[in-house]
């Protein structure tokens, strides 16, 4: 640590904050900052609720002032951290936040940046308690130590970090936008292929062009699984590697998990080959040709399955519904293969671009961590 720097706990450099009870002024309006108000992408308060005192939730009890730092103690590793802007001075936040108000001589943004260091986030992760809603206490936060240089040095460091982080935020936003655009382009191309039907196309259902092998599935619990070399597939990919196999050859696995299909958070369908085991969360379809199999895989990825999914508590794409899905397809296997080849080519280019943007995002995140480490070890 540099000369004239001191190590202090956050509790030592913070002022006391106030609590309020909006219910005591039932008609007075205020802005309420709840735990979901802060974005952990921009680290700003992005949404508040305009409430009357009589409508205040029981958690609306902490008064905030301009330049206070809010740190969500519920799920602390999500890093819902923000500085209170001028227009929210004297408003109210949830008790799910710890309010950090630095004493004179301590720059509020220096404290703000300290909450993103690996040492602080690591401590929060190790101290959080609770399974459903892991949380830390205000006392846990106050007990954390940070290096504190003289105020002019704090100001210099904050200036460097503000400028650097603004640039990183802009670069991240651009990379994320490009990543979304690349994926959107692929999805748009998929949809255009299947809506632009040419001569020689026919309408079929999934069961007319494939054989369903679901009856051959054998559920195997985690405690009964023996580790081995064969992939054990579930609704979204490989779950484990096991010592035995049931299926061999090329098949198309289609997810049964309606919730994930509606959210499109996992692949709808994916081709597998070799020797493998499949659990009862994925349908298994066998086709006469790989061209047909891949054509159906891409088609299923291009459509919405909302109308085929049944059940509310546990939405599911059952075998009957899967078999009934109408599918436009060229009669000729050669024509199917040409379409598959063009889609695979675009898919590969999309993956290349996605990988490029993902690497850029990872590099920007690494740069942030490096700058923070240098800042709080006196190397900046």
User: Is CATH 1.10.287 what the domain over 150-200+333-380 is classified as, yes or no?
Assistant: yes
Going by pLDDT thresholds of 50, 70 and 90, the confidence category of residue 38 is very high
Going by pLDDT thresholds of 50, 70 and 90, the confidence category of residue 5 is very high
The pLDDT tens digits for 203-237 are 999 999 999 999 998 888 888 889 999 999 988 88
The pLDDT tens digits for 301-325 are 888 888 888 887 788 888 999 998 9
**Residue pair 58/43 in contact by the 8 Å Cβ criterion:** no
pLDDT of residue 282: 92
Prediction pTM value: 0.72
* Least confident residue range of 63-67, 94-98, 196-200: 196-200
pLDDT of residue 180: 87
**Residue pair 251/286 in contact by the 8 Å Cβ criterion:** yes
Residue 262 confidence (pLDDT) above 80: no
For the chain, the domains span 6-147, 150-200+333-380, 201-331
pLDDT of residue 211: 94
Highest mean pLDDT among 21-30, 260-269, 339-348: 21-30
Going by pLDDT thresholds of 50, 70 and 90, the confidence category of residue 257 is confident
Going by pLDDT thresholds of 50, 70 and 90, the confidence category of residue 1 is low
The pLDDT tens digits for 147-178 are 999 999 999 999 999 999 999 999 999 998 98
**Residue pair 315/309 in contact by the 8 Å Cβ criterion:** yes
Give percent above pLDDT 90 in the chain.
Answer: 71
Going by pLDDT thresholds of 50, 70 and 90, the confidence category of residue 191 is confident
pLDDT of residue 305: 84
Residue 2 confidence (pLDDT) above 80: no
The pLDDT tens digits for 362-377 are 999 999 999 999 999 8
pLDDT of residue 258: 76
Which are the contacts of 12, defined by CB distance < 8 A and separation ≥ 6? none
User: Is CATH 3.90.220.20 what the domain over 201-331 is classified as, yes or no?
Assistant: yes
User: Is CATH 1.25.40.10 what the domain over 6-147 is classified as, yes or no?
Assistant: no
122 vs 132, which has greater pLDDT?
122
Going by pLDDT thresholds of 50, 70 and 90, the confidence category of residue 131 is confident
Q: What average pLDDT is seen over the chain?
A: 92
Give percent above pLDDT 70 in the chain.
Answer: 99
How would you class 198 by CB atoms within 10 Å of its CB: exposed for 0-12, middle for 13-18, buried for 19 or more?
exposed
pLDDT of residue 288: 92
**Same fold yes or no, 6-147 and 150-200+333-380:** no
């Amino acid at each position: 640590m540099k000369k004239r720097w001191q190590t202090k706990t956050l509790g030592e450099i913070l002022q006391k904050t106030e609590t309020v009870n909006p219910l005591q002024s039932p008609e007075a309006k205020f802005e309420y900052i709840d735990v979901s108000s802060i974005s952990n992408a921009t680290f700003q308060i992005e949404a508040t609720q305009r409430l009357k005192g009589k409508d205040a939730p029981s958690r609306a009890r902490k008064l905030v002032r301009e330049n206070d730092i809010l740190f969500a103690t519920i799920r602390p590793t999500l890093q819902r951290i923000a500085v209170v802007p001028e227009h929210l001075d004297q408003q109210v936040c949830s008790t799910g936040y710890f309010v950090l108000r630095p004493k004179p001589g301590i720059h509020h943004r220096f404290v703000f940046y300290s909450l993103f260091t690996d040492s602080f986030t690591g401590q929060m992760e190790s101290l959080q308690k609770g399974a459903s809603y892991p949380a830390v206490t205000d006392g846990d936060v106050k007990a954390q130590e940070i290096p504190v240089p003289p105020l002019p040095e704090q100001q210099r460091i904050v200036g460097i970090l503000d400028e650097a982080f603004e640039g990183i935020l802009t670069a991240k936003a651009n990379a994320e936008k490009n990543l979304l655009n690349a994926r959107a382009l692929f999805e748009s191309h998929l949809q255009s292929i299947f809506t632009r039907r040419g001569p020689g196309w026919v309408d079929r259902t999934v069961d007319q062009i494939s054989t369903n092998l679901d009856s051959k599935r054998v559920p195997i619990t985690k405690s009964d699984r023996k580790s081995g070399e064969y992939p054990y597939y579930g609704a979204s990919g490989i779950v484990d590697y096991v010592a035995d196999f049931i299926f061999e050859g090329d098949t198309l696995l289609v997810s049964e998990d309606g919730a994930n299909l509606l959210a499109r958070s996992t692949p709808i369908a994916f081709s597998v080959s070799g020797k493998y085991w499949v659990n009862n969360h994925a349908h298994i379809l066998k086709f006469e040709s790989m061209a047909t199999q891949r054509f159906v895989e891409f088609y299923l990825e291009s459509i919405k399955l909302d109308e085929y999914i049944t059940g509310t508590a546990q939405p599911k794409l059952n075998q009957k519904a899967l078999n009934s899905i109408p599918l436009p397809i060229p009669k000729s296997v050669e024509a199917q293969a040409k379409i598959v080849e063009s889609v695979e080519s675009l898919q590969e280019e999309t993956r290349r671009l996605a990988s490029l943007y993902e690497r850029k995002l990872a590099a920007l995140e690494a740069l942030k961590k490096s700058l923070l480490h240098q800042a709080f070890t006196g190397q900046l």
